[in-house]
Amino acid sequence: MEKKINLIASKEEINIRLDVFINKHQKDVSRTRVKNLILDNKVKLNNNIILDPSKKILPGDEIYLEIPEPKKASLKPYDYKLEIVFEDKDLLVLNKPAGIVMHPGAGNYDNTIVNALVNYDKDSLSSIGDELRPGIVHRIDKDTSGLVVIAKNNYTHEHLSNQFNEHTITRIYQLLVWGKLRPSRGRIETYITRSSKNRQMMEVSNSKGKKAITNYETIEVFENKNTPTLSLIECKLETGRTHQIRVHMNYLGHSILGDNKYRKKYKKIKNINLDLENLITNLNRQFLHAKTLGFIHPKKNEEMIFSSILPHDLNIILENLRKLNN
């Protein structure tokens, strides 16, 4: 059922962004959804349709919004075995393998995690936002493996979305990069925007785009005469921008092993161990794994932390490097 809401800004509410104001007064509606409602002509300011989420409001301003009844998507079920790490009546946590996309999109409308979720339990997914993305609160790239949380109802979806927007979610990734980072640990804070040269890629900007913050720490360094120099890194995200870790590592000059989209040229080692060379050559994905995911359970109000070990195709490379570096 469609909801119609009227709000009036108080005398203390001066120069507040429209989307922030609405989210403040409608806690069950995430900032992301508020933004989409504004862009869909569902919000009026003083009886005028507003299309700018960042529009500043003043005391006495009247805000009207319509929240449409969620649409049920018509999605084809995909018979695919999901690796479910945790499940209750409100959410489930998946360990996504590399090679499968999160939701339908151009060129692939059937063989996705969403289609697999529809096959698993089509009636237990949130239905807000994009009708092709039921249950999807956040995403990881097709060729990234690891943990994702799925919402099974709208309350849970909104609550988790707010945690992502407020940057209170714990997200730690493991990755193997070319070279040795100096300093070995640090904080990368930049803006990330869509590339002007390739619209399918992102790039660091001095001022345009969205702020992106990545904290990194070197866990292990591999270097000897029979191996290229590689570093095992852990990255803790404060924000979750598209391709954030891949862009930030490339920005530092240490692109991720296997990342053919964001890569720096490297000097091939003449006497490289053949087994290691084959493993690196045959890796058909980036060495990037969503290792840890933590959040507050929307209904239980308890902190939940989940961890996932490296999949075999990544772990075997590490094992080989460790043998060669002993």
Mean pLDDT score, 105-128: 89
Each residue's pLDDT tens digit, 156-205: 999 999 999 899 999 999 999 999 999 999 999 999 999 888 888 999 99
Q: Would you say 214 and 192 are in contact if contact means Cβ atoms under 8 Å apart? A: no
Topology of domain 3-67, CATH: 3.10.290
Q: Which among 19, 61, 90, 141 is annotated as catalytic?
A: 141
Residue spans of alpha helices (H) in the chain: 18-25, 31-39, 113-121, 154-165, 244-251, 274-282, 312-324
**CATH number, domain 84-165, options 3.30.420.40, 3.30.2350.10, 3.65.10.10, 2.60.40.1240:** 3.30.2350.10
Each residue's pLDDT tens digit, 66-103: 888 766 557 899 999 999 999 999 999 999 999 999 99
Highest CATH level, class, for 170-324: alpha beta
pLDDT(266) > 70: no
pLDDT given at position 108? 85
Percent of the chain with pLDDT over 70: 96
Non-local (6+) Cβ contacts of 268 within 8 A are 228
Active site annotation includes 141: yes
Q: Where are the domains of the chain?
A: 3-67, 84-165, 170-324
The reply to whether domains 3-67 and 84-165 share a CATH topology is no
Give me the phi and psi of 234, to 5 degrees please: -115, 130
Mean pLDDT score, 249-273: 83
Across the chain, the runs of DSSP E, i.e. the strands, are 3-8, 16-17, 43-45, 48-49, 56-57, 62-67, 84-87, 91-96, 145-151, 170-178, 185-194, 202-205, 210-224, 227-237, 288-296, 303-307
Q: Rounded distance, CA 82 to CA 14, Å?
A: 48
Q: Would the pTM of this model clear 0.85, i.e. be above it? A: no
CA distances to 167, 260, 268, 290, 314 from 280, in Å: 34, 12, 12, 20, 10
Phi-psi group of 129: left, alpha or beta (phi > 0 → left; psi -120 to 50 → alpha; rest → beta): left
Buried (b) or exposed (e) across 100-117, using 16+ Cβ within 10 A? Answer: bbbbbeeeeeeebbbbbb
pLDDT given at position 36? 83
pLDDT(46) > 60: yes
Rounded to 10 deg, the angle between the 18-25 and 31-39 helix axes is 120
Q: How high does pLDDT run on average in the chain?
A: 91
pLDDT given at position 208? 87
pLDDT given at position 227? 85
